[in-house]
Amino acid sequence: DVKVTQSSRYLVKRTGEKVFLECVQDMDHENMFWYRQDPGLGLRLIYFSYDVKMKEKGDIPEGYSVSREKKERFSLILESASTNQTSMYLCASSSNRGRDSQFFGPGTRLTVL
Amino acid sequence: GENVEQHPSTLSVQEGDSAVIKCTYSDSASNYFPWYKQELGKRPQLIIDIRSNVGEKKDQRIAVTLNKTAKHFSLHITETQPEDSAVYFCAASRGTGFQKLVFGTGTRLLVSP
């Protein structure tokens, strides 16, 4: 069974702080994703990684960066958190084998004060 | 860019009724269309998917139909039950690769006993 875990369920940070959100998957998936979920806007792709050290910008990368130093771990970084980054952040992973869809983590609800 | 429109945004039905959620996509190269269910406070989970080489797929009370010419696809839930209450997201692959998805904005389904 695929397990995707995220480092925190809830996080409260102050404006200007550097924030790290971490995601770990245990199924040797090649692809990992970070989404932001806001009411009425669905899931919007922030960044995508298809291999270690490889990344692609998604639809809303501004204000975010990512790091993938190991295959199982994908980190989302908010260099200087702002109040408009208050949101639910979802990590997902998928495999290139078997053509499976994406499996999601439980989400991190980030509040920036 | 790629876009997926999803309707309705909310849907209320009585237990036992059918529910239909419709999506329209913009990228004619899209070839993979998953549907996710997200219960309150939980992660999105894949419930059914369809690939462009078939027009319909069923799994017990759930079915998905695809009209590639019109770029429409729909989720049909028959004999709805209160536990079907959730937010449902449609998605379409970005181009012919199935790794990256663009999501609809979600439909909140409420099934009343």
- The residue among A38, A44, A94, A102 with the most chain B CBs within 10 A of its CB, best to mutate, is A102
* Strands A31-38 and B107-112, bridge-based pairing: unpaired
Q: Does A2 touch chain B (CB under 8 A)?
A: no
Distance from the B110 Cα atom to the nearest Cα atom in chain A, whole angstroms: 16
Kindly state the tokens that stand for B88.
């449902």
Contact B4, B34 (CB under 8 A): no
Cα gap A89→A39, rounded to integer Å: 12
Cβ contact B106–A42 (<8 Å): yes
List per-block mean pLDDT (blocks of 10 residues) for chain B, which spans 113 residues: 92 97 94 95 94 90 96 97 97 80 96 95
- A60-74, A99-113, B92-106: which has the minimum mean pLDDT? B92-106
Nearest residue to B75 (alpha-carbon basis) of B33, B103, B39: B33
Q: Does A40 touch chain B (CB under 8 A)?
A: yes
Cβ contact A94–B103 (<8 Å): no
Q: Which residues of A51-74 are buried (b: 16+ CB within 10 A; e: fewer)?
A: eeeebeebeebeebebbbeeebeb
Q: What percent of chain A is predicted at pLDDT more than 90?
A: 89
Cα gap B56→B25, rounded to integer Å: 17
- Is a pLDDT exceeding 70 seen at residue A1? no
Set of chain A residues whose Cβ sits within 8 Å of the Cβ of B46 = 101-103
Q: Which chain B residues touch A if contact means CB-CB below 8 Å?
A: 1, 6, 9, 32, 34, 36, 42-46, 49, 89, 98-106
